[in-house]
């Protein structure tokens, strides 16, 4: 756990996780002040949750075709560019095309849904076998700390400054995270071809393999159900707390 690659991973993902919360707070605050409608702002966490759900379904296609490190680094880079375009769009006339804001939010969340499972999956390639449990425990504890602290910190920055200040801070976090992800040195094993066929058949088979394993494995099924209700709950409480 003392090697540089592991430090690059957890620091970079910490920047990304803070940014994932910060930009949602900034967009929600901006839309609410722009439209004075709670519904317009509440749709942000709804589209985030919906995009995470969709990306969770199609993620096996990407995992089978590309290396995990490639997905993580280029996925974070794409999120950075999307956030940059979103920031420019918010400053140059989003009040006339609010629907486009939801498109940007959905695309960022979609990429986030693909990147989320990769972080822990890379740990066995970085640390020794004896330290995998310790490393995953550290990463999970760090994630919970960020989830606990990012919302009040983001809200405080918005109240003292502006949504644009927070989204620019998020952009800096995303840039730092992208750089660190490209600095990861990981030797992955060659991928095995598990899905046969072409086109739509291969697409459906790749998805069905993941769902079949989840359905048969009791622990995987429990975690999936828990994550489903957690995603719904997040969309509800975020909207409720921010507009109280």
Handedness of CA 124, 126, 130, 131 (dihedral sign): negative
More confident residue, 190 or 12: 12
Please say if the pLDDT value at position 236 is more than 70: no
**pLDDT tens-digit map of 204-233:** 666 666 666 566 666 555 655 666 666 566
Q: Where are the domains of the chain?
A: 4-194
Residue 124: which residues within 8 A CB-CB, separation 6 or more?
Answer: 132
More confident residue, 95 or 107: 107
pLDDT > 90 fraction of the chain, expressed in percent and rounded = 20
**What is the CATH T-level fold of the domain 4-194, as seen in this structure?**
Growth Hormone; Chain: A; (1.20.1250)
pLDDT of residue 227: 61
More confident residue, 237 or 142: 142
pLDDT of residue 186: 78
More confident residue, 118 or 238: 118
- If one counts every other C-beta atom within 10 angstroms of the C-beta of residue 243, the result is 11
pLDDT > 70 fraction of the chain, expressed in percent and rounded = 75
**pLDDT tens-digit map of 40-52:** 887 888 888 888 8
């Amino acid at each position: 756990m003392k090697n540089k690659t592991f430090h690059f991973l957890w620091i970079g993902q910490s920047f990304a996780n803070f940014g994932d919360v910060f930009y949602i707070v900034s967009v929600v605050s901006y839309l609410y002040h722009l439209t004075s409608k709670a519904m317009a702002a509440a749709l942000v966490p709804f589209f985030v949750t919906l995009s995470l759900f969709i990306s969770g379904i199609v993620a096996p296609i990407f995992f089978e075709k590309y290396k995990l490190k490639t997905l993580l680094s280029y996925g974070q880079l794409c999120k950075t560019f999307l956030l940059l375009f979103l920031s420019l769009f918010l400053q140059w006339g989003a009040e006339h095309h609010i629907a486009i804001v939801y498109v940007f939010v959905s695309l960022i969340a979609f990429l986030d849904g693909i990147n989320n499972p990769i972080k822990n999956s890379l740990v066995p390639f970085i640390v020794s076998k004896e330290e995998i449990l310790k490393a995953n425990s550290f990463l999970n504890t760090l994630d919970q700390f960020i989830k606990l602290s990012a919302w009040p910190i983001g809200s405080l920055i918005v109240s003292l400054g502006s949504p644009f200040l927070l989204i620019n801070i998020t952009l800096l976090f995303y840039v730092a995270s992208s750089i660190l992800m490209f600095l990861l040195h990981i030797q992955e094993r060659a991928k095995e071809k598990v899905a046969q066929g072409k086109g739509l058949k291969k697409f459906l088979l790749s998805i069905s393999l993941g769902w079949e394993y989840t359905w048969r494995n009791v622990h995987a099924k429990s975690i999936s159900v828990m994550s489903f209700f957690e995603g719904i709950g997040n969309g509800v409480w975020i909207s409720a707390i921010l507009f109280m």
